[in-house]
Amino acid sequence: MSSSFSAPKGTYDILPPDSATVLAVREAIAAPLRRAGYGYIETPVFEDVNLFSRGVGESTDIVTKEMYTLITKGGDQLALRPEATASVLRAALQANLHRVGNLPVKLWYSGSQYRYERPQAGRYRQFWQVGAEAIGAEDPALDAELIILAVDAYRSLGLSNFRVLLNSLGDKQCRPVYRAALQDFLRGLELDPETLRRAEINPLRVLDDKRPDVQKQLVGAPMLVDFLCEECKAYHEHVRELLTASGIAFEDDPKLVRGLDYYTRTTFEFVHDGLGSQSAVGGGGRYDGLSEMIGGPALPSVGWALGIDRTLLALQAEGVELPTPNASDVFAVPLGEQARRVLFAQVTELRRNGLSADIAYGGKGLKAAMKAADRSGARYALVAGERDLAEGLVQLKDLSTGDQTPVALDVLVATLKEKLQ
């Protein structure tokens, strides 16, 4: 009988054998980050609600509609993290990482985020990301580095049908001029009161509105690229040159704004054409003012987050199957209580020598135990009964060929290590 409980709406369980693919995706994304000097960080899944309302932006859908909030027994207002950048920056500031080491501080993370979304394929209320942040340096090479690392991660997974979208959002010098021009344009449109309110708080967010009736009215809207100051133009061109020199193809997208208020200058998104409306598999950008927004010093920074859920969907769309290790290299099949004790000790020793090994539990007979060995994916089965043990032997069976040979117990570990190299 199954449980009367099920996973909450908009969430799902990650179970074997699919969980092996999830781990492989995380490792593939993390590997280039480690090679580039990024250190691992974990932060709490809940934070002071103001960390996100200040950093992510009070006008964003994330803060106004999607954030899970709670009040503790002590009266503190907390929120499950809807994104990780603000949390990572808060942790770095709290630990004074920007003071104790060389800048930039390079960090990467892996974990789940939470948003009250309308559940659909590729959009869940709990979702997993791997992300990276480079804190404390304003350098086009950092922006390019992070984009290159993400592209290299996707390529290492075997993905090819993804595109890199690139834009610049300007800085505190040139964006206010554009903001005023965009607000003048938006005030002349027939927008609902909520969208008009958003236009007064952060008009760039209106450009990100996915509703067709809004997008239709945005034709002819002023583009930020036409308002960039000379310094921002030069910075953006430098990023583009570095990407081109590294063999990274990208598409300039003047409408790309992303959904968070803290972005400045470089912003980018990774999209996959096989995912329909949920085509974004990751994205990020530069957030030079976020540290000051949450009460820290000026620390220009850049980062990204890549979605595990959508990367898995992208792999499915391209028919890419990742190689995953077998749960066991060796599966022990004891025949009788004495054999169970001896093979249990051998399995323990195999594990201590770096081999993956398992044993039939629950007193299974030979037929049931061999079926379990086949299902385990192991390459070899160890079969032993009283007669084998009396002679100091076990039977080593190659499960792919069916060949079976006796092996002395005292050389079993060495024999298997040699065969499985």
List the CATH number of the domain containing 42: 3.30.930.10
Residues 309 and 338 grouped into a single domain: no
Q: How buried is residue 308: exposed, middle or buried, by Cβ count under 10 Å (0-12/13-18/19+)?
A: buried
The least confident of 12-26, 49-63, 118-132, 339-353 is: 49-63
Residue 195 confidence class, pLDDT cut points 50, 70, 90: confident
Left if phi > 0, otherwise alpha if psi is -120 to 50, otherwise beta: which for 319? left
With residue 237 as reference, give the H or E element that holds it: helix 230-245
- The domain total for the chain is 2
> Which ranges in 295-410 belong to alpha helices (H)?
308-318, 337-352, 366-376, 386-390
Residue 120 is given by DSSP the state B
| Per-residue confidence band for 157, with pLDDT thresholds at 50, 70 and 90 | very high
Tokens at 265, concatenated: 């200058």
- Asked whether residue 184 is domain-assigned, the answer is no
Taking 90 as the threshold, does the pLDDT of residue 179 lie above it? no
Question: Is 217 inside a domain boundary?
Answer: no
Q: What is the pLDDT, as a whole number, of residue 261?
A: 65
Fill in the amino acid letter for 211. Answer: R
Does 205 map to a domain?
no
- Select from 318, 348, 382 the last residue of a domain: 318
Q: Are residues 344 and 271 in the same domain?
A: no
- In a shared domain, residues 243 and 368: no
Share of the chain above pLDDT 70, in %: 97
Q: How many CB atoms lie within 10 A of CB 195?
A: 17
Q: In this predicted model, what pLDDT tens digit does every residue of 355-389 receive, in sequence order?
A: 999 999 988 889 999 999 999 989 999 999 999 99
Same domain, 261 and 296: yes
Q: Sorting pLDDT into bands at 50, 70 and 90, what band is 60? A: low
Instruction: State the pLDDT at residue 2.
Output: 65
| Residue 161 in this model has a pLDDT that exceeds 70 | yes
Which residue range is the domain that position 368 belongs to?
330-419
199-244 confidence digits (pLDDT tens): 888 788 788 777 888 889 988 889 888 999 999 999 999 999 999 9
Question: Are residue 139 and residue 256 in the same domain, yes or no?
Answer: yes
Tell me if the pTM is above 0.85: yes
Q: What are phi and psi of 274, to 5 degrees?
A: -95, 10
Distance CA 358, CA 332 (A): 6
In a domain, 179, yes or no: no
Is 336 inside any structural domain?
A: yes
Together in a domain, 235 and 309: yes
Does some domain include residue 198? no
Which of 266, 289, 318 corresponds to the end of one domain? 318
Please tell me whether residues 255 and 140 are part of one structural domain. Answer: yes
Q: Which of 205, 225, 222, 224 is nearest to 60 (CA)?
A: 205
Q: Assess whether 338 and 309 both reside in one domain.
A: no
pLDDT bucket at 262, cuts 50 / 70 / 90: confident
- In whole angstroms, what is the distance from residue 357 CA to residue 346 CA? 9
Single-letter code of the amino acid located at 18: D
Residues 279 and 348 in one domain: no
From 318, 349, 376, the end of a domain falls on 318
